[in-house]
Amino acid sequence: MKRSYKDLIKGLESNDRVCLSKLISSVESNTSSIFKIVNSVKKIPNKIYTIGITGPPGAGKSTLTNQVIKKLRALDLKIGVVAIDPSSPFTGGAVLGDRVRMQEHSLDRSVFIRSVGSRGDLGGLSYSTSSMIKLFDIFGMDIAIIETVVLGQTELDIIKISDSVVVTLVPEAGDSIQAMKAGLMEIGDIFIVNKADRGGAEKLAREIDYMVSLKQDNAQWKTKVLTAQAENDIGVDELVTEIMSFREYEESSGLLIKKRNKRKISELNTLVEKRLRNELEKTKETATFKDMVIKLENGLLEPEVLVDKVINLIKKNN
């Protein structure tokens, strides 16, 4: 039997994983379904803390995410993961890789992992990811992890949803340059040079440390650059400790509230703009609007005069 939205939302609020899964699919396939959900829940807890793990493809983000989940589970935290690879299609190897690398948590009732492929529309993807985090929050998760590739400026929006951003790099030639080009140097709160077993990690870590220090003379938070071997569980404890201390800093300094409020305002702006554009499109179909266009074309009315009339028409139609 198909369950109604009302039932699904009730289930979500009472910790039903099937309902969480169904609602996640629903915001994934139709971004506007989050409106119905948010409007029907009693309260959004706003308790979840979001960690973004990003970097170039193959840097070991999924391996690292898997290890971080393990450490957080040891602290008895409930975790929701969204693993995104915008550069590969849904059935691509990367998504499969994510699944395989995080499979050990598939039986853990306190971990929920969703892999998301590309739909080509990064704006939509960042919106549906933020909706998924809201669902995790309502469900009662403590931590959300977003794993995503960043190759250029356009992917940065997805990671900006995070409360802290971990940039993962590897000691391969050119990685630091790529990080700079993609804007990763600006968004990282913590940097981690993975695959330290290959050598060259310390050197890259020092380079990044230097680059980060250049833009950080007066900052209260000193961005750390760590090295790790995700595969061998080396350096992951240090990473988790660092994430926790960054969170503490954000909370005690008021930075977290400031960041979240800024995000809410920008989300509101985007939603209002989108809604207004839709309303305008609808209004354009009305006879009154078409009549105005004819008058405009015949030189009977000027655009400056019509603006207010169009606005009034939109208002009247609502």
Q: What share of the chain is helix, strand, coil (3-state, %, to 5)?
A: 60, 15, 30
Tell me which residue of 265, 14, 264, 6 sits closest to 138, measured CA to CA: 14
Nearer to ligand GDP, 89 or 266 (CB): 89
235 sits near ligand GDP (criterion: CB under 6 A):
no
Q: Which stretch binds ligand GDP (CB under 6 A): 108-116, 117-125, 153-161, 224-232?
A: 224-232
58 sits near ligand GDP (criterion: CB under 6 A):
yes
Site residues for Mg ion, 79-98, by CB under 5 A, read 98
195 sits near ligand GDP (criterion: CB under 6 A):
yes
Site string for Mg ion, 35-64 (x = CB under 5 A): --------------------------xx--
Q: 164: helix, coil or strand?
A: strand
**One residue of 11, 52, 60, 86 binding ligand GDP per CB under 6 A:** 60
59 sits near ligand GDP (criterion: CB under 6 A):
yes
Neighbours of 243 (CB within 10 A): 22
Residue 60's binding partner among ligand GDP, Mg ion, none (Cβ under 5 to 8 angstroms by kind) is ligand GDP
Q: Is the dihedral of CA 38, 122, 99, 111 positive or negative?
A: negative
101 sits near ligand GDP (criterion: CB under 6 A):
yes
* Residue entry with tokens 């369950």: 3
**One residue of 31, 118, 194, 283 binding ligand GDP per CB under 6 A:** 194
Q: Which stretch binds ligand GDP (CB under 6 A): 39-47, 181-189, 225-233, 272-280?
A: 225-233
Gap between the terminal Cα atoms of the chain: 36
Neighbours of 152 (CB within 10 A): 12
Nearer to ligand GDP, 101 or 134 (CB): 101
114 sits near ligand GDP (criterion: CB under 6 A):
no
DSSP-derived letter for residue 3 is P
